[in-house]
C-alpha cells in the first residue's frame, strides 16, 4: 500500500517537473520578512499600513487578535453572502413545506392546520444552515481565495513553512505602487525581522497550462481512491460497529416489540397489564360494554368555566372535528374516505345525558373508536361541556337570545 502511494507521489513530482511547476524565474513577486513574536508582527502591520502600502499581507501560525485595526482591514463582505444564502434556505424550506403539506399531500391530523410553522422549524433550520454553510465555503474557495489556481509564488517556500509553524511573517508584493526593494528590506530589518528574503514567481503560468485531468492514469487514480473510500466506509458502517467493543449499544439485553422473549415462559415479549391493576391517575370504568342508554348516573365533575370550555374546544378540535366538523354538524373533512357521523344537533343527541356522551367518547360506538387511551379522563368531560355549548349555540331559543 505504501509503495502504491509512493509511486503516486513520484508521478506527481514527474508531472510537476515536466510542466516546470517547481522552477522559478527572475521576476520578483514580493519581499518577505519573518518575526518572532505577535507584538513584532502587529507593529510591522501597523507600519506597513500607515506607510501607504496596499498590496501587502500578514501570515501567522494562529489567529492573532487585534490584527484587523493595525492592517486597516475593511469588514468582510462574506457575511452578506452568508446571510443572503441562509435567508434563501429559510424561504425555500418554508415554501417547500407549505406546498407539500398545504397543496400536494394534505394530511388530516386531528383538526390541526395543514401548514403549521412550529413543526416546520427543524427542516427550515437545517436547510438554512445547509445553504449558508455550503455556499459560504464555496465562495471562500472560489471567489475570495480564487481557487483552483494553485500557482501562488508563496507556495513551497521556506517562508510559508515557517509562518505555518512557529514564525510570524509579512510580505510586500512587487506590484505595489510604493514598492522599492532596497527600502522595504531596510524597513523590515529596522522593525526587528529575523530573516528577510526575496520571493520569485514560477516559470509556468497556470492559466495557460493544459491540465492532464483526462489522463488515463489520473482517472484510474481517482477511481481507486473512490473505491478505497467506499470500501472503508462500508466496512466501518456495516461491519466494524457490530464487532466488540463497538457493539455494546446494539447487543445490550433488552426486549424489542413484536419479538420472541426467552425470559418469560410464554415466549411473548409484550406483556399485558397485571390483572386488577389501575393506571396512575385513572379510575376503572365500570360501564364498559354497556349501551349508552343505560349510563345515566354519572355527573360531570368539572365546573362550567371559561378555562374548561377552552380545554374542551382544544380537545374537540383535535380529536372530534375531523369527523363531526367544527360545529358538530357531521360535515366531515375526510373527503368521503370515512363515513360521516350523525349531527350532534339532533333531538337524540341534545337529549342525551352527559354521562351517555362521556360513555361514547370513552368506549366508542358503531364505527367510532374508543378514545380513552388518547384523551385523559377529565379532558373527556371538558369535551362534553363544549358539545353542550355547541348544541346550545346552534339551537338557541328566545330566552337565550334575551340573555
CA-to-CA distance for 54 and 59, rounded, in angstroms? 16
Contact status, residue 356 vs residue 279, Cβ threshold 8 Å: no
pTM listed for this prediction: 0.46
Q: Rounded to whole angstroms, how far apart are CA atoms 21 and 204? A: 6
Contacts of 364-369 spanning 24+ positions with Cβ under 8 A: 365/292, 367/338, 367/339, 368/323, 368/341
Mean pLDDT of 275-289: 75
Q: Could you give the CA distance from residue 44 to residue 99 in angstroms, rounded to a whole number?
A: 58
Mean pLDDT computed over every residue of the chain: 84
CA 322 – CA 192 distance, rounded (Å): 81
What is the DSSP secondary structure assignment for residue 319, as one 8-state letter? I
Q: Which residue has the higher pLDDT, 270 or 363?
A: 363
More confident residue, 386 or 151: 386
What pLDDT is recorded for position 135?
A: 92
Q: Kindly state the DSSP code that residue 140 receives in the 8-state scheme.
A: I
pLDDT value of residue 86: 95
Residue ranges in 100-204 assigned as alpha helix (H): 117-139, 158-163, 181-190
d(CA 364, CA 382) in angstroms, rounded, equals 17
pLDDT for the residue numbered 401: 60
In this prediction, residues 228-246 reach a mean pLDDT of 91
From the list 60, 57, 31, the residue with the least C-alpha distance to 45 is 57
Position 210 scores a pLDDT of 55
Tens digit of pLDDT for each residue in 68-120? Answer: 899 988 888 888 999 999 999 999 999 999 999 888 888 777 767 888 888 89
Which tens digit of pLDDT belongs to each residue from 157-188? 899 999 999 999 999 999 999 999 999 999 99
What integer is the mean pLDDT of 334-340? Answer: 77
- What is the residue whose three cell numbers read 360521516? 340
User: Which stretches of 140-180 are DSSP H helices?
Assistant: 158-163
The whole-number average pLDDT for the span 12-27 is 63
Name the one residue in this structure whose C-alpha cell is 374546544: 313
All domains of the chain in start order, with CATH? 24-209 (no CATH), 292-395 (1.10.760.10)
**Separation CA 47–CA 394 (nearest Å):** 85
- Residues 6 or more apart whose Cβ sits within 8 Å of residue 92: 127, 131
CA 393 to centroid of chain Cα atoms = 47
As to burial, measured by CB atoms within 10 angstroms (0-12 exposed, 13-18 middle, 19+ buried), residue 98 is: middle
pLDDT value at 254 more than 90: no
pLDDT at residue number 271:
80
Average pLDDT over residues 252-268: 80
Per DSSP, helices labelled H in 191-292 are 216-238
From CA 301, how far away is CA 384, in angstroms rounded?
11
The answer, yes or no, to whether residue 17 has pLDDT greater than 60, is no
CB 136 within 8 A of CB 81: yes
Q: Which three three-digit cell numbers place residue 253?
A: 439485553
Q: Which of 8-22, 116-130, 162-176, 325-339 has the lowest mean pLDDT?
A: 8-22
pLDDT of amino acid 206: 53
pLDDT-derived band at 330 (thresholds 50, 70, 90) equals confident
Alpha carbon separation from 89 to 2, 114, 117, 118, 121 (Å, rounded): 44, 21, 15, 17, 12
Q: What integer is the mean pLDDT of 219-237?
A: 93
For residue 327, the SS3 value is: coil
Model confidence pLDDT, tens digit, residues 339-379:
888 889 988 888 888 888 998 898 888 888 999 888 988 99
Dihedrals φ, ψ of 398, to 5°?
Answer: -65, -35
How does strand 56-59 pair with strand 24-35? unpaired
Amino acid at each position: 500500500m505504501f509503495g502504491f502511494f509512493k509511486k503516486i507521489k513520484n508521478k506527481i513530482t514527474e508531472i510537476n517537473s515536466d510542466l516546470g511547476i517547481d522552477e522559478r524565474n527572475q521576476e520578483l513577486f514580493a519581499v518577505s520578512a519573518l518575526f518572532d513574536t505577535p507584538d513584532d508582527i502587529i507593529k510591522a502591520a501597523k507600519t506597513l499600513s500607515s506607510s501607504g502600502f496596499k498590496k501587502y499581507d500578514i501570515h501567522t501560525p494562529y489567529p492573532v487578535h487585534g490584527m484587523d485595526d493595525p492592517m486597516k482591514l475593511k469588514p468582510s463582505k462574506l457575511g452578506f453572502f452568508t446571510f443572503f444564502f441562509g435567508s434563501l434556505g429559510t424561504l425555500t424550506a418554508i415554501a417547500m413545506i407549505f406546498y407539500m403539506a398545504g397543496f400536494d399531500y394534505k394530511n388530516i391530523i386531528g383538526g390541526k392546520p395543514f401548514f403549521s410553522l412550529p413543526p416546520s422549524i427543524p427542516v427550515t433550520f437545517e436547510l438554512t444552515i445547509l445553504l449558508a454553510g455550503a455556499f459560504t465555503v464555496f465562495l471562500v474557495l472560489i471567489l475570495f481565495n480564487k481557487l483552483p489556481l494553485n500557482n501562488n509564488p508563496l507556495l513551497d517556500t521556506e517562508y510559508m513553512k515557517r509562518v505555518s509553524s512557529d514564525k510570524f511573517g509579512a510580505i510586500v508584493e512587487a506590484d505595489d505602487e510604493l514598492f522599492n526593494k532596497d527600502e522595504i528590506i531596510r524597513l523590515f530589518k529596522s522593525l526587528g525581522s529575523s530573516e528577510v528574503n526575496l520571493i520569485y514567481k514560477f516559470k509556468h503560468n497556470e492559466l495557460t497550462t493544459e491540465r492532464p485531468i483526462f489522463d488515463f492514469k489520473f482517472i484510474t487514480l481517482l477511481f481507486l481512491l473512490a473505491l478505497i473510500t467506499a470500501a472503508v466506509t462500508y466496512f466501518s458502517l456495516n461491519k466494524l460497529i457490530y464487532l466488540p467493543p463497538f457493539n455494546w449499544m446494539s447487543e445490550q439485553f433488552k426486549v424489542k416489540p413484536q419479538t420472541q422473549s426467552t425470559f418469560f415462559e410464554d415466549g411473548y415479549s409484550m406483556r399485558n397489564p397485571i390483572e386488577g391493576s389501575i393506571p396512575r391517575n385513572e379510575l376503572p370504568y365500570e360501564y364498559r360494554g354497556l349501551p349508552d342508554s343505560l349510563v345515566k348516573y354519572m355527573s360531570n365533575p368539572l365546573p362550567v368555566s371559561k378555562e374548561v370550555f377552552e380545554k374542551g374546544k382544544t380537545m374537540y378540535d383535535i380529536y372530534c372535528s375531523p369527523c363531526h366538523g367544527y360545529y358538530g354538524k357531521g360535515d366531515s373533512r375526510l373527503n368521503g374516505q370515512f363515513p360521516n357521523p350523525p349531527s350532534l344537533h339532533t333531538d337524540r343527541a341534545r337529549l342525551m345525558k352527559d354521562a351517555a356522551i362521556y360513555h361514547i367518547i370513552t368506549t366508542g360506538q358503531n364505527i367510532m373508536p374508543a378514545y380513552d387511551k388518547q384523551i385523559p379522563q377529565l379532558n373527556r368531560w371538558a369535551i362534553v361541556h363544549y358539545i353542550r355549548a355547541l348544541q346550545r349555540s346552534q339551537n338557541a331559543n328566545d330566552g337565550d337570545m334575551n340573555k
